[in-house]
Amino acid sequence: MKISQLLLIASCLATVACSQEQEIDKKPERFQVTTPLIKDTPYTSEYVAEIQSVRYVEVRSKIKGFIEKNHVDEGQTVNKGQLLFTLSFSEFEKELQKAEADYKASLADLKAAEVELNNVKHLVDKNIVSKPELEVLQAKTNALKAKAEEAVAHKEQVALQLSFAQIKAPYDGIINRIPHKMGSLVEEGDMLTSISDNREIFAYFHLSEIDYLNYINSPEKDAKTVQLKLANNELYPHIGKIETIESEFDKETGNIAFRARFPNPDAILKHGANGKVIIDKVLKNALIIPQKSTFEIQDKLYVFVVDKDDTLKQRNIIPRMQLTDFYTVESGLSPNERIVFEGVESAKDGSKINPVPLDSATGMSSSSDQE
């Protein structure tokens, strides 16, 4: 055989081999495909909360005077009725002594007038003294009785003023900042300290009108239990309960305030702290897909839908909510449509694939495990 014929045969064999290789390359690529899953989907919402003691009071002076002694220190735990501060009260003691003397004098005058009144009554009965004289004496006795009552009121008022010089704790709690030290002159109404009872705390947080309506219409609203995330993002170990909702929305923010109560046995929470209230919710009949089935182009979310001819179609979807490993879909996808489960980065719009069906529940579980 001639060399030219051998070269021709070799060329034909190479052409056939290349053609077969191209046919192998054109074989559709395998992709796992799944359908969206419809299920009730739990999720959580977080709301910034202001923490306040269930009982918090500012202790203020009711009189003007010098602080003679501070009986407590900042951060100290006190009991109800415990003495906190003593103000100068010598002038009130003297005033009380004078009031006591005035009261005793008025009482003695009244007693003498009553004795005289009784004697005159007997004389009137015997027609020895005229009735007008009795009436004058009766009026005098009534005036002395009023004077004695006035002396009692004045005595009680001075005693009350004297009691104001000794400031006591209204309930069990913790002493906060003490701005005025011993020897300071305080005016009536000046704040001496504040007391916090932190055994329980309130967490105040605000919901938008939409969130409020969703909460009211939720079947889980009767549970009312919430959690609290602390400022360091740690979860507070005790469960709280929603107690009340304000009666009106804030006109400026459009929000409405909620109040939850939390136990605080370890005194971790302090008045004035901040955190986030966590409310568990359920999205009914949510259409969910794995995050790995999606990709973004210019801040829009897409999936590859597999049509009846096993051809990929790039489609924009509108997510309703992003969860840990999934998206809930608002629009753009129907429950019976197939989508590429994973490998979307290598898929191409319009290309034909070899679909490998994957059960939606299995796919969701697999996506969560791998994440």
Among 166, 186, 206, the domain-final residue is 186
Number of C-beta neighbours around residue 234 at 10 A:
11
Instruction: Clarify whether residues 32 and 49 are in a common domain.
Output: no
Find the CATH number of the domain harbouring 306. 2.40.420.20
Number of C-beta neighbours around residue 213 at 10 A:
11
Residue scoring higher pLDDT (131 or 191): 191
What are the start-end ranges of the E strands in 61-138?
Answer: 65-70, 77-78, 83-87
* Average predicted confidence (pLDDT) for the chain: 83
Flag whether 17 is in a domain.
Answer: no
Among 151, 186, 221, the domain-final residue is 186
Q: Provide the pLDDT confidence category of residue 54 given band limits of 50, 70 and 90.
A: very high
- Residue 133 pLDDT: 72
pLDDT value at 151 more than 80 = no
pLDDT in tens, 116-128: 667 767 666 667 6
Find the CATH number of the domain harbouring 224. 2.40.30.170
Range of the domain at 135: 61-186
Flag whether 15 is in a domain.
Answer: no
Q: Provide the pLDDT confidence category of residue 23 given band limits of 50, 70 and 90.
A: very low
Instruction: Clarify whether residues 129 and 177 are in a common domain.
Output: yes
Residue keyed to tokens 């003007």: 64
Flag whether 354 is in a domain.
Answer: yes
Tokens of 38: 């419809």
Residue 355: strand pairing partners:
31
Flag whether 97 is in a domain.
Answer: yes
Among 164, 186, 208, the domain-final residue is 186
Flag whether 193 is in a domain.
Answer: no
User: Could you tell me the CA-to-CA distances from 266 to 174, 241, 274 in Å, in that order?
Assistant: 14, 18, 17
Domain count, the chain: 3
Query: 123: Cβ–Cβ under 8 A, 6 or more apart, which residues?
Result: 129
Residue scoring higher pLDDT (178 or 20): 178
Instruction: Clarify whether residues 84 and 179 are in a common domain.
Output: yes
Instruction: Clarify whether residues 291 and 279 are in a common domain.
Output: no
pLDDT in tens, 275-316: 999 998 888 888 999 999 999 999 899 999 999 999 999 999
pLDDT value at 31 more than 50 = yes
Rounded mean pLDDT, 31-40: 91
Instruction: Clarify whether residues 31 and 90 are in a common domain.
Output: no
Instruction: Clarify whether residues 291 and 273 are in a common domain.
Output: no
pLDDT value at 325 more than 50 = yes
Instruction: Clarify whether residues 260 and 164 are in a common domain.
Output: no
Flag whether 297 is in a domain.
Answer: yes
What are the start-end ranges of the E strands in 61-182?
Answer: 65-70, 77-78, 83-87, 166-168, 173-175
Instruction: Clarify whether residues 33 and 114 are in a common domain.
Output: no
Instruction: Clarify whether residues 36 and 103 are in a common domain.
Output: no
Flag whether 5 is in a domain.
Answer: no
Residue scoring higher pLDDT (366 or 58): 58
Residue scoring higher pLDDT (302 or 133): 302
- Residue 168 pLDDT: 92
Residue 52: strand pairing partners:
202
Q: Provide the pLDDT confidence category of residue 55 given band limits of 50, 70 and 90.
A: very high
Flag whether 348 is in a domain.
Answer: yes
- Residue 199 pLDDT: 92
- Residue 268 pLDDT: 92
Tokens of 145: 């009785």
Helix (H) or strand (E) holding 280: strand 274-290
Instruction: Clarify whether residues 72 and 176 are in a common domain.
Output: yes
- Residue 371 pLDDT: 45
Instruction: Clarify whether residues 71 and 181 are in a common domain.
Output: yes
Instruction: Clarify whether residues 182 and 85 are in a common domain.
Output: yes
